[in-house]
Each structure stands twice: as C-alpha cells, then as structure tokens.
Structure 1
Amino acid sequence: MILNDYPWLSLPYQQLASGIIHKRAHHALLINYVQGSGEDEFVSKLASRLLCQNSQQLEPCLKCHSCQLFLSHHHPDYYVITNEQGKRSIGIDQIRNISSKVYEKSQQGGNKVLWIKHAALMTEAAANALLKTLEEPPQNTYFILSDDHNSHLLPTIHSRCFSYFLSVPKLEQSIEWLKKQYSQQYSDNELASALLLSENAPLKAATLLMPEKWQQRKEFCNHLLEVVPQNNYWQLAKIFDNEDFSERIIWFCALLSDALKAKQKVGRFIVNRDQVPLVRLLATNSNEKLSELYNLWLQARNQLLTITGLNKELIICNVLAQSELVD
C-alpha cells in the first residue's frame, strides 16, 4: 500500500485522492492501466484512503480502527471481486451477491468500497447487473473498476464511471528505478529492452529481468542466431513447451518488427537494443518475408489465447513448419 517504492504513482494518487478530501470523489471510478505498472498497489492505496475515517490529508492515517482493519485484510466494508480460480469470467451471481451487500448499512459506519479487478471479465449479464447498481448507487459507497488498457467494457458501464488512465513513467525514469533494483547487473541497453518489451511497465520489466527469465530470453535469441541463416526453425522445438510458447512469440515478433524498422532506417526505435546483431541478421530477409513471419507467429499466439481445447503442441509444430516455407 506504500507507494514510495513506485515514485511514478505519486502524482496520479494525488490527483484522485484530492477528490476524496474535497468530497468530490466519483462513486464509480474506472482505472485502465498497463499491466505491471503498480496498478494493484495504486488501487489498494485509494481504497484505504476512502475507508479511512480520521485523515484530512491525502494519505490515510493508518491509525484509526478502519485503517487497522484494512491493513489486517479484514475490513468488513471492503470487497474485492475478480474471476474465481479456474474460471475465465466474473459471473452474474458474484455481482448479485455483492450488490445486495452494498445496500446494507456500513459495518464500520463509514464508506464502503468495492473493487472489481479485471472488470472486462464480467459476462454481459454480470455487467448489466452491475449497471443497475451504478445507476442508483447507495450512499457512501464507492466502486473501483480496473483493467488492462487493451480490455473492453460495455459502453454503458463506461458511461457511468469516471475514467482514469494510469500512465507508465518515461523510459528514463523507469531505467533509473530498475537500476536501483538490479544495481550493476544489467547494461542500460538491457534495461531499456526489458522495459520496451513490457510496454514500459516497470514491475513487468522487473519480472522479465529476473535472472532465470532473462537467461531464457538470451538462449532463445542465441538459438535464433543459429536457426535464421539455415532457415531451420524446427531446431526451436526443443526449447519450447506449451507454457512458455506465447511469451517466445512476443519476443520473436518484437525482433521481426525491429528488423523491419532497421530496413526502413529507423533503428533508433528498435525494442531489442541488446540484440542488434540478431536484428541485423533478420533484416537481411525481405520485407515480405519478415511481414509474413510476423503474421504467422502472431496468428499462432491469438489461437493459443482465444481458442480453448486446442492441441498446443500441434500449433507449435505447425508454426515452426510453416516458418520454413515462407519465401
């Protein structure tokens, strides 16, 4: 809940918390974010401030009974709703159950806060059920909906909320933050590459920079240095498994995109700044081949993410075989 570790969140928090102080906080707040930018910590801090019954400042007091309950994760007027384990959606029953509670009197005599994480996972029926509550919100009740900036909510839900985009920090600020986390472990080019592969979201980049994960990426790139000249993509099969294939696709598509940028003489915009030799090697292929490979691999990723019950191993084999046939 302490945002001092994430300095880029200070200004956004001040902007929204000032509305709480001046009694101007919207009853329904929709926060869009880039995953890995500290979104959970940010929402948790806002919820804490809404529930605090003592502070007149931007920060929650952390001393009143309500704050103590929140810190112990047992606040009876704070509800967090997300998809249940093993399910891909937030169902109507979850929303109905919580909607009935919000019309009850606050147990601590203050505000009630409902946080719907990954709000776009609500089924249409669940979203419509929530809509009824948003249209006639009970007093002293605040809804926080949050989701990735690429997600899609029903327009009717959007229209009932105050929308706020939690922006990521500038690349230079993120690099400085990562340097503090990893000291001299990585070069500036490696830090920049991790950030650019992570949409400049610092926490997501930090996960990618964990030694085991970063080593996997290095090994993948080294394999490509061998595979590309021979056009023998089957060699990659030995380093793939069903769980990590989607991530490798992102890495490869970013490299293909960088190769296209290099061919257009806009190399300063490349993402994989620590893999310039590999980017140059890929750039020896034609624009047509690079584009076709990019589309082929991206299609495989979309299949993995959107179609249930697919044989993942078959998809992997197919995309590797098809890659060798691209002229």
Structure 2
Amino acid sequence: MGALAAAAKFRGLRLFFSRITSAFTTGQVKDFGSVGQVKGVDKIIAKFTMSETGIYRKLLEPIGFPRLGITDGKVSGFVGSEMAAKARIGTKAVGTKPFKKKIVANLQQHIDYLEKESFFQKAHREAKQMGIIDRNELSRRWYHDYALDQGINYRSFEMLKKGGKRISDRKLGRMYFFRYKPNQPDELYDEFPLIFMLYEDADNFSGINFHYLSPKLRAILLGHMLQYMSNKDYTERTKIFARKFRDVIKKNKRFRHAKVSYRQYRNDQVQSKVIQVHPLDWELAIMVPTERFKTPGGGRTASKKMWFKTAKEARNV
C-alpha cells in the first residue's frame, strides 16, 4: 500500500499503523471504517503533524478510513466521535465573533486575488479547509510548518512573480520583497531582501530583513512584532506601527535580533519591482527560502553561515 510507504518517515503515522495492524491481527476490528474503536488511536491522531494529517486525508480517507475532524488546524478526533464533538463545542462561541467573520471574508478575498494554484493560494485554501482562520499561535505554527515543508523549492524569482502586489509607493510598517544590488558592496549582502520597512527618506529606506535570521528566530521575532499591528483584520492596509516599533528596537533587548538584522537600502540600487507582501502571507513569506546571500566579489554564501553570524552578533547586543 502506498500509504504505508509514505508513513515510514512519519512517527505519528508509524504509531497509527502499528496500533491498527495489531487490532486487525487480533480481530479487534474487521474493516478500515472501524479503526476509531481501537484503544489509544484517538490520542495518536491528536498528535498528528500537518504533514501526517495531509497524508491521512489524501491516502487513507478515500479507501475507507474514518474522516479526521479538524478544529483550528489540529486533529480533534474522527468525525462523529465524542472527542471531535467536545472540540467543536469548545470552539463554537469563537466562530461567532465579528472579527473572525471579517477575517474569513478577507481570507476568501485574498485567495480569489492570488494567482491560481500559486504556492500562497494553495496554502490558504488548505488552511481554510482545515478551519484555520484566526492568526493565533497554533495557526501561525501551521503556516510556518506548511512553508518549511511544502515551500522547500519556492525561490526568489517565483516570489517576485507571484508573491504579492507590485507597488511604486512604499509605506512604513509593511512587508516588501525586491531584488537589490549595491554598486560597491564591501560586505556580504542579501540579493533578495524581505523587509519590514521602518524608515525612509528621499534616497534610502531601511527595515528588518528577516532573511538574516534562521527560520526559528524569524517566527519568534514576527510573533513579538504582531503586538504592534495597526489592527487584526489582516487586510492590505494592516501594518506595523513603524515609528513606535523602531523606538522599541533601540531600547528593548527582547528585539535584539531585529536590531542586528536591520539594513538600509538605496532607492537607486533596487533592481526589480517592489512586491508588497499581504499581511495574510507574512507567516509564509518569512519561511520560504527566497534569500540569496552574496559576497562583495559576486560569489554565493550559504544561508546557515549568515544565520550563525547574525545570532552571534545578537548575543553581544
């Protein structure tokens, strides 16, 4: 069975198959649809990762295994089970909040706007199907895992083409992606910066380039930054309060990684259209491997080398 082969590298699925195989052998269950009766299976599926959940739904549900109940992006049990019912009751009130309805509408509008079958669109469609709407800690982690798992081959030129809206008028507090080449580089630099712009004047602009941080630190930093958002509607106008956050970076050691990844760019050295990343895509954009670090001589440098260097600098701030 293809599902068994796919499960080999996933601990949760290995445990699941081990438990139900034993149940079939002893006659505890006689068909796939009854595996929910196997003792301990509910606890195993509750710990499924995003990838394990995806494999189960794509390979096992079509051949008769019971459907997984999904609540806020996590497996809540098999559909119709007592475990899943309790999870639905516990979250029912949340779904009636006006702000959640607004996010649902904004998410659908954004999905419709994105290029058909683009990486970001696929991520949002799957998230919506799994009931991942709010931007809480759990949903943020789901998007991070999705980008790291499914976006491994997503690159800079695809980001320039499909990663957001091309703009000519940059605004403070928003996330941007572009191609950059300094005229006379004297140190390592990122050819494709992903920045939250926090300052600009007639000739320059500057902000936090997430690419200088490891994926783990990017997620932590963005999580801390969200408390400085202008609103939680996640529309195109949602932004970080730039001036306020810039002052925080200077004084608060909690944001030392933001301080050491802060970079300045000249307008006349931007080599592409500037892409504005929609707030609903922030969690995905910070995790896909679109960075490209280059030496002053034009050679490439491994991302991990730069992440180590930045982390070391942060320890001394």
TM-score, normalised by the number of residues in structure 1: 0.31
Higher strand share: 2
Higher helix share: 1
Determine which structure has more spread, i.e. the larger CA radius of gyration: 1
